Copies of this chain bind each other. A is one copy, B any other.
Amino acid sequence: MPVELDKTDYKILRLLQQDGRTGNAEIAKRVNVSAATCHRRTQRLFEDGYIQNVRAQIAPDKVDRGALVMVGVVLDRSTPESFGAFEAACRALPFILDCHLVAGDFDYFLKIRVRDMADFNHLHGDQLIALPGVRQTRTFFVMKEVVDNAPLAF
């Protein structure tokens, strides 16, 4: 089925990535196809999983999540069980935006959003170092968000 997308499909993807509320008629106009065709194309992009979902981006500071923190984590042991337990725990923590297993000086990298530094300190003491198998964490407070979650270029 993945008959390799054509130029029109890519344009639709880019438009929807830029503004997911763009109407079908509008998209059709911009990519130069009829509304009917555009509608079917877009539908297919959803059905075939090219578009995972459409999400509103909430302004973090407007909902008291203005502080961003990156955390490097090292685990006690490098066993599959240890990794599994840590990952499961991470998935359950709502303030963790990213959790990635990496190669290098750390085992995991976390991206966390909280209200402020004080909030993070509580959370760090209460929840992060208490995560299963954590030996050490290294915290990098974000002082300036130069680019955050930029749209994917392709």
By a beta-carbon cutoff of 8 Å, the part of chain A in contact with chain B is: 2, 13, 16-21, 49-60, 62-65, 68, 70, 87, 90-91, 94-106, 108-109, 111, 113, 138-154
Contacts and interface: CB of A to CB of B under 8 A. Distances in A.
A101 B56 contact: no
A104 B143 CA distance: 10
A53 B90 CA distance: 27
B59 A52 contact: yes
Contact of A17 (B55, B64, B154): B55
Contacts of A91: 146-147
B50 A63 contact: yes
This chain's copy number in the assembly: 2
Task: List the 3 closest pairs (A to B, CB-CB), nearest first.
Answer: A94-B153, A16-B56, A63-B154
A154 B58 contact: yes
B146 A55 contact: no
Nearest to A101: B144
A57 B51 contact: yes
A55 B19 contact: yes
Contact of A144 (B51, B100, B145): B100
24 contacts: A2-B62, A16-B55, A17-B56, A17-B57, A20-B56, A49-B62, A50-B62, A50-B63, A52-B58, A55-B55, A55-B57, A70-B109, A87-B146, A91-B147, A94-B150, A95-B153, A100-B143, A100-B145, A100-B148, A101-B142, A101-B146, A102-B142, A104-B140, A106-B140
